[in-house]
Chains A and B, each alone.
Chain A
Amino acid sequence: RKEVEQDPGPFNVPEGATVAFNCTYSNSASQSFFWYRQDCRKEPKLLMSVYSSGNEDGRFTAQLNRASQYISLLIRDSKLSDSATYLCVVNGKGGNKLVFGAGTILRVKS
């Protein structure tokens, strides 16, 4: 079983739609959770950290469910510019390293 698992998609949605991604992780002791965005052939960039109480940044909302060991990302009012790969990141077994999921592809269409 992979340490961090994501649905690869692609998710094809129209502009203005709401879309949600889930990510599951295997290390119950994980303490750090992030969502990164990666554009084609570019480096990953931090989208947002994920906190236990959930957090929101504009159109983006992240949630953490420790009991079920998954995190989610909700994007409201999707824009064409949101088209990218969204990477789920969790600190892995042993505690120190950051483990990336394979990413979920989002395509927003007009």
Chain B
Amino acid sequence: EAEVAQSPRYKITEKSQAVAFWCDPISGHATLYWYRQILGQGPELLVQFQDESVVDDSQLPKDRFSAERLKGVDSTLKIQPAELGDSAMYLCASSTENRGRAFFGQGTRLTVV
């Protein structure tokens, strides 16, 4: 079964440093999501792409977070500078269409120290 690939699985970084996460969605999936999940809470949408275009980034802290999906395939999420409150699981998901069922990668667990 096709999977969403994410790397790294785990990342420890010092506050004020830059960190980047990578996601490769299931082939052919036009919609790509980045979610952040804090322990004990549900996933919160950070940014949603349709092909290479951003369709929703209303909850993305744009002063420190950026996301791109240049060729409409894989995607990178960057945080610069990282803050202690950014410690969370960062989940990438993809779907064949907006509002359709989403398939998740295994996530990147970020710890900021």
Interface residues in chain A, defined as those with a beta carbon under 8 Å from any beta carbon in chain B:
4, 31-32, 34, 41-46, 49, 87, 91, 94-103
When C-beta atoms are compared, the residue in chain A nearest to B6 turns out to be A43
| 10 sample A-B contacts, Cβ–Cβ < 8 Å, listed by A number | A31-B99, A41-B89, A44-B104, A87-B42, A91-B99, A95-B99, A96-B56, A97-B55, A98-B99, A100-B42
Contact indicator A44/B43 (Cβ below 8 Å): yes
Query: Is the beta-carbon distance between A100 and B101 smaller than 8 angstroms?
Result: no
> Closest A-chain residue to B100, C-beta based?
A32
Contact B44 A94, beta carbon cutoff 8 Å: no
A43-B105, A96-B50, A97-B55 known; 16 new pairs, CB 8 Å cut-off, are A4-B42, A31-B99, A41-B89, A42-B106, A44-B91, A44-B104, A46-B101, A46-B102, A87-B43, A91-B98, A96-B48, A97-B45, A98-B99, A101-B42, A103-B41, A103-B42
Enumerate the 6 nearest inter-chain pairs by beta-carbon distance, A residue then B residue, closest first: A100-B42, A43-B104, A32-B99, A91-B99, A102-B42, A96-B98
Chain B residues positioned under 8 Å from A34 (CB to CB) = 101
Contacting pair A100 B98 (CB below 8 A): no
In the docked arrangement, what's the CA distance between A80 and B5, Å?
Answer: 29
User: Quick one: given A96-B55, A96-B56, A97-B56, are A49 and B42 in contact (CB under 8 Å)?
Assistant: no
- CB A29 to nearest CB in B, in angstroms, measures 11
Chain B, Cβ-Cβ closest to A99: B45
Alpha-carbon gap, A42 to B4, bound state (A): 14
B21 at interface, CB cutoff 8 A: no
* Given A34-B101, A44-B43; A98-B106 close (CB under 8 Å): no
CB-CB under 8 A from A99, the residues of chain B are 45
B25: Cβ under 8 A from any A Cβ:
no
